[in-house]
């Protein structure tokens, strides 16, 4: 009997394990939208996360062609967005030669894909060098389909985009999700449908508007909602608390108030910062003030949660069985304002060691884990912040819908 397909958002999608790939030309969409510095890959996390899928395909003797995007080159080649620097990273991680094609479609790309031997790997140049990718152009998708006999979707971080390589391509080839996408769906579906309780969500970041959908969904599911970061000041202002010169989305104050009211109606804890680190100017080395309560003095800007807030946020995380974290607690890129975010990262790593299921999503949260030296010390680090948030909101991701059985 064939194994059950992956289920997500009431959709069923075929798994890599159930797709015949032995000896075939396999086209794989990966997410290699990695940070670059000085022409080199600065963080190879997203590359490493694709290794289980790639190794399975290589061991099956598949001839593997990889397509991906990097940055926003606006439909034309820009050298700074070339994927070529990823080749050396892949070669080191896989322990084998990786070929590179200077385009992702056309005769040269097709010739490179056809030349692959069983177990061989080819990385093709940036999909977004062609306007047809972001335009979800069917002709562009058809050109891509010539590179393989079957298609594997393993770019979780791109599933929320209706682009040619995510939404149009799966209709042209026998398709399945890769092992990374399967892992992402498994963990996020656990949070959506079957979290072990207590379930605590820690949400930060700059703006309420970026997280409004997921906040409205989480307030229906969690046992405690901990709100920090710049968005917390809009929540505090909605409660009539003075926030000084801190970040404020005035138009979103009614939405923030609505989320607090929903929390009270459900009798769950919706916790806002009880104290803050505040400054007159946002810069490294700025003289900081620790507020004595929720209010921020009129001439100051809140830049991090204070020690009392860290203490009770940590207590809730410590007692949780499931934790979802997305977004920093302050301007953590500046070391002086990073303590709150790093403390949350440490609390979540400790909760993981104690047996909690912990899921961290969003580039800033993953960067904070790395800054704290805690990468790999949570149950699951989601490679797609936007995709994970949209899944939690209950949205149907175009890249998953295109794969539905």
Active site residues: 46, 207, 363, 386
CB 301 within 8 A of CB 244: yes
Provide the token pair at 181: 């996408």
Sequence-distant (6+) residues with CB within 8 A of 332 are 304, 338, 340, 341, 342, 364, 367, 368, 371
CB 191 within 8 A of CB 356: no
| Cα-based angle 5, 10, 16 (whole degrees, multiple of 5) | 25
- The rounded distance, in Å, linking the Cα atoms of 151 and 16 is 9
Contact 401, 11 (CB under 8 A): yes
Maximal C-alpha separation, the chain: 68
CA dist 285 and 273 (Å) reads: 23
Per DSSP, the residues of 112-157 read HHHTPPTT-EEEE--GGGSHHHHTT-HHHHHHHHTT-SEEEE--GG
Residue 397 to residue 391: CA distance in whole angstroms: 7
Tokens at 26, concatenated: 């396999």
The three-class DSSP label of residue 71 is: coil
Angle between helices 363-371 and 339-353 (to 10 degrees): 80
The sign of the CA dihedral 343, 344, 345, 348 is positive
């Amino acid at each position: 009997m064939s194994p059950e397909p992956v289920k997500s958002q009431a959709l069923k999608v075929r798994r890599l394990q159930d797709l015949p790939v032995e000896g075939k030309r396999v086209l794989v969409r990966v997410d290699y939208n990695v940070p670059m510095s000085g022409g080199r890959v600065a963080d190879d996390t997203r590359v490493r996360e694709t290794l289980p899928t790639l190794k399975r395909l290589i061991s099956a003797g598949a001839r593997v062609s990889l397509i991906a995007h990097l940055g926003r080159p606006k439909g034309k080649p820009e050298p700074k967005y070339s994927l070529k620097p990823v080749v050396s990273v892949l070669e080191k991680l896989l322990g084998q030669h990786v070929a590179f094609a200077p385009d992702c479609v056309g005769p040269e790309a097709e010739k490179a894909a056809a030349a692959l031997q069983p177990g061989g790997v080819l990385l093709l140049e940036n999909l977004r060098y062609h306007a047809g990718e972001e335009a979800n152009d069917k002709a562009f998708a058809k050109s891509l389909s010539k590179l393989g006999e079957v298609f594997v979707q393993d770019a979780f971080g791109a599933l929320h985009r209706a682009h040619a390589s995510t939404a149009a391509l799966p209709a042209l080839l026998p398709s399945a999700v890769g092992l990374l996408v399967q892992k992402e769906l498994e963990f996020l579906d656990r949070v959506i449908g079957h979290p072990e309780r207590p379930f605590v969500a820690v949400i930060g970041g700059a703006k309420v508007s970026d997280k409004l959908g997921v906040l409205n969904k989480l307030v229906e599911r969690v046992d405690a909602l901990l709100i920090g970061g710049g968005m917390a000041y809009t929540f505090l202002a909605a409660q009539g608390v003075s926030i000084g010169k801190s970040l404020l989305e005035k138009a979103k104050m009614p939405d923030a108030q609505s989320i607090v009211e929903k929390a009270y109606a459900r009798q769950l804890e919706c916790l806002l910062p009880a104290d803050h680190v505040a400054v007159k100017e946002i810069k490294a080395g700025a003289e900081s003030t620790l507020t004595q309560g929720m209010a921020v003095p009129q001439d100051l800007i809140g830049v991090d949660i204070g020690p009392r807030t860290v203490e009770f946020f940590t207590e809730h995380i410590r007692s949780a069985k499931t934790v979802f974290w997305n977004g920093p607690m302050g301007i953590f890129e500046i070391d002086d304002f990073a303590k709150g975010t790093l403390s949350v990262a440490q609390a979540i790593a400790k909760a993981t060691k104690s047996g909690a299921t912990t899921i961290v999503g969003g580039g800033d949260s993953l960067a904070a884990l790395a800054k704290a030296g805690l990468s790999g010390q949570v149950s699951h680090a989601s490679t797609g912040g936007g995709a994970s948030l949209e899944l939690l909101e209950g949205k149907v991701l175009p890249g998953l819908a295109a794969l539905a059985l």
